[in-house]
Amino acid sequence: MRIARFSIDGNVAFGAVEGDQPDQLVLDIIKGIPFADFELSGTKVPLSKVRLLPPVLPNKVVAFGRNYAEHARELGNEVPDAPFAFFKPSTSVIGPGDAIQYPSFSEELHHEAELAVVIGRMCREVPRERVKDVIFGYTCANDVTARDVQRREKQWARAKGFDSSCPLGPWVETDLDPGDLTIQLTVNGAQRQLGRTSEMIHSIEDLIVNISEAMTLLPGDVILTGTPAGVGPLNVGDEVAVSIEGIGTLTNKVVKRG
């Protein structure tokens, strides 16, 4: 099931996305929130009549770096022996169609297409065999990075945590095997990144076991699983699109921060 979060007439709701043709998709509004047992209301609205929002509002975004060997090498980094985590704040999250604001303190903005895992229940110290039980679903993400700042500063908080640096969407797919999916990114229609989730060094199970050893994960928290090779520059005016097999496409435009 595809679960979207959207606004219409000033109201925010979740809905199940129905249909196969992009111009004929409708949302069946969910009663309540999707992280518990829920019912579909039967009230349906065309997707074209709503504004899609970030599919979740995470308490935290835990991102894992250098989880694809070729990406680590293209930036001159060693492939890590263990998962390598950092954080993006909740204020970095934007939704499909929202603007990526080019930060004033950077002159080298990069795209990073990623598969995002959405946590469905509160959990800690998750055993490997129970990881699937705590996952709500999957969505597309773009770990937008101020690369010059990342190189210059020892901490990545500003380079990867600035406002609008974490586009998510267009919705959460709850019924998906993430083991071997095509992940690609285009800028102005030209392909920049192309890889498969099977190329991850550390699996989704590895990542969730690793981070849940240290902290409690909450419903709606997001885990970013790393980016394949091909990262590169974004400029003001660019349209960047992340597409993941079985999920859909997340599109955002880069604007000058006003």
Which tokens is 219 given? 């419903």
Q: List the one residue out of 7, 51, 45, 50 whose CA is nearest residue 26.
A: 45
Strand partners, 193: 185
Q: Tell the residue number behind the tokens 């995002």, with chain if given.
A: 116
Q: List the one residue out of 217, 221, 215 whose CA is nearest residue 166.
A: 221
pLDDT by residue for the chain (258 residues), tens only, comes to 999 999 999 999 999 999 988 889 999 999 989 998 899 999 999 999 999 999 999 999 999 999 999 887 888 888 888 999 999 999 999 999 999 999 999 999 999 999 999 999 999 999 999 999 999 999 999 999 999 999 999 899 999 999 999 999 999 999 999 999 999 999 999 999 999 999 999 999 999 999 999 999 999 999 999 999 999 999 999 999 999 999 999 999 999 997
Q: Contact, 13 vs 6, CB < 8 A?
A: yes
Predicted TM-score (pTM) of this structure: 0.97
All structural domains of the chain? 2-52 (2.30.30.370), 61-256 (3.90.850.10)
Strands 166-173 and 93-94: parallel
Which tokens is 86 given? 């950092």
